[in-house]
Amino acid sequence: MFRTQVQPRNIDKDPYLKQKIFSASPEKLVSYMYDAIIAACHRKDQERTLRGLVGLVNALNFDYKDIAVPLFQLYQYCLERARKRKFDEVEGLISGLKSAWVEAMNVN
């Protein structure tokens, strides 16, 4: 199994970001996570890409196995690819997921 030490960004330094995160719905938070991973991949920032993916894994609710298990497998694959620095592949997969998520959850 995989584990990455996650050090959350200090949102106290950015009151706008703090308000944005604390007022967001769970659906919007997932969208923000996807955005952060896409940005990290674009910058080829392995540490932040891995942190974001681990955050998505930790957010999965396995009470809903029909969707959680396939997402877990996809996130696990993305983690493997990110460790191998295949950022373009991870960015493409997460971008596709984000598009589907935004459409399904009606968040933007």
Residue 26 lies in a domain: yes
Residue 5 lies in a domain: no
Question: Taking 50 as the threshold, does the pLDDT of residue 14 lie above it?
Answer: yes
Six-digit token string for 49: 């890409």
CATH, residue 28: 1.20.120.340
Q: Are 6 and 54 spatial neighbours (Cβ–Cβ below 8 Å)?
A: yes
Angle at 55 between CA 34 and CA 88, to 5 degrees: 45
Residue 44 lies in a domain: yes
Total domains, the chain: 1
Q: How confident is the model at residue 9 (pLDDT cuts 50, 70, 90)?
A: low
Residue 7 lies in a domain: no
Nearest-angstrom CA–CA distance, 32 and 1:
25
Structural domain that includes position 21: 15-105
pTM of the model: 0.83
Residue 43 lies in a domain: yes
Question: Taking 80 as the threshold, does the pLDDT of residue 4 lie above it?
Answer: no
pLDDT tens sequence across 62-97? 999 999 999 999 999 999 999 999 999 999 999 999
Position with higher pLDDT, 44 vs 106:
44
